[in-house]
C-alpha cells in the first residue's frame, strides 16, 4: 500500500495546531505538530515531511525565517503559510522565501485542506493522488466524485459519498456512531444516531453486490471498514 502523506503542522497555538492536525488526519494524512521554528527544524531533520503547514508568527521568530532556514538546509517539502496578515507584500514575501501557498486567518478547515491538496497535486505530479482513496477493490475519487467497486461505477448520494469516504480513510479502525455523526453530519446535527445505521444500510445495499462486505458492525459500538475474516 502507498504510505500516507506526512504533514508537519507548525503553530504555537496548541489548540489550533491540534485542530488542524486532527482535520488533516480525518482526510487520511499522517500528521506531526511543532510549536516553534526550532521544533519544526528538528522535526524535519528527524523525519522529513511531504508538506509543512507553517504559521508566520512563532515564539522564536518569524515563520518566514524558519522557511528560509529549511530551504537552506535542503528541505524541499512544500510550505503552506498560515497568517493573520493579508497584505500583498506579505504574501509576496512568503512566496519569495520558498512558500507555496498562503492561507489567511481566520480560515475554514475545508479551505486549508483544499489548498493542501492543490499544493500536493502541483508539487508532486508523480506522487500519490491526494484526491484518491482506496481500500481493497474500492476506489474513491474526490476529483471526479466517483466511487468504483471492482472497477464498476457505484452511484452514491453526497451524504453516502461522505460517509463512505470517512469509513475508508479510517479503514481498520472502529468508529463509533457518535464519531461518524459528528464528522459526516457535523456537530450541530440535531437528529439521533439512527441516521448512521440507515445510511450504512444504504451503502451496503449498493456496495455488497459487487464484492464481499467491507463495512462491518461492531455491536453496541459502531462500524469498521475491513476485509471479511475467514471465519465470517
Question: Which tens digits make up the pLDDT trace of 100-149?
Answer: 888 888 888 888 888 898 888 888 755 556 667 788 899 988 878 899 99
Where in the chain does DSSP place strands (E)?
Answer: 6-10, 30-34, 51-55, 57-58, 61-62, 79-83, 101-104, 132-135, 138-141, 146-149, 152-154, 175-176, 215-218, 222-225
Three-class DSSP category at 13: coil
Average pLDDT, the chain: 85
Q: What pLDDT is attached to residue 232?
A: 47
Q: What is the pTM of this model?
A: 0.62
CA 168 from centroid of its chain's CA atoms: 12
Amino acid at each position: 500500500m502507498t504510505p500516507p502523506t506526512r504533514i508537519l503542522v507548525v503553530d504555537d497555538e496548541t489548540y489550533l495546531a491540534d485542530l488542524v492536525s486532527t482535520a488533516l488526519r480525518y482526510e487520511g494524512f499522517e500528521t506531526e505538530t511543532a510549536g516553534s521554528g526550532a521544533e519544526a527544524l528538528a522535526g524535519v531533520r528527524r523525519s522529513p515531511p511531504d508538506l509543512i503547514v507553517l504559521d508566520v508568527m512563532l515564539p522564536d521568530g518569524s515563520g518566514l525565517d524558519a522557511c528560509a532556514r529549511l530551504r537552506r538546509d535542503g528541505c524541499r517539502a512544500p510550505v503552506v503559510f498560515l497568517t493573520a496578515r493579508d497584505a500583498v507584500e506579505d504574501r509576496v514575501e512568503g512566496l519569495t522565501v520558498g512558500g507555496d501557498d498562503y492561507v489567511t486567518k481566520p480560515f475554514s478547515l475545508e479551505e486549508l485542506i483544499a489548498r493542501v491538496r492543490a499544493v500536493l497535486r502541483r508539487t508532486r505530479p508523480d506522487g500519490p493522488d491526494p484526491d484518491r482513496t482506496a481500500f481493497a477493490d474500492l476506489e474513491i475519487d474526490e476529483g471526479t466524485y466517483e466511487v468504483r467497486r471492482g472497477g464498476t461505477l457505484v452511484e452514491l448520494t453526497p451524504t453516502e459519498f461522505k460517509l463512505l469516504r470517512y469509513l475508508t480513510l479510517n479503514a481498520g479502525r472502529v468508529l463509533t456512531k457518535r464519531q461518524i455523526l459528528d464528522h459526516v453530519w457535523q456537530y450541530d446535527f440535531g437528529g439521533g444516531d439512527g441516521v448512521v445505521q440507515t445510511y450504512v444500510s444504504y451503502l451496503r445495499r449498493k456496495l455488497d453486490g459487487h464484492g464481499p462486505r467491507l463495512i462491518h458492525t461492531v455491536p453496541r459500538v459502531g462500524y469498521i471498514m475491513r476485509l471479511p475474516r475467514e471465519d465470517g
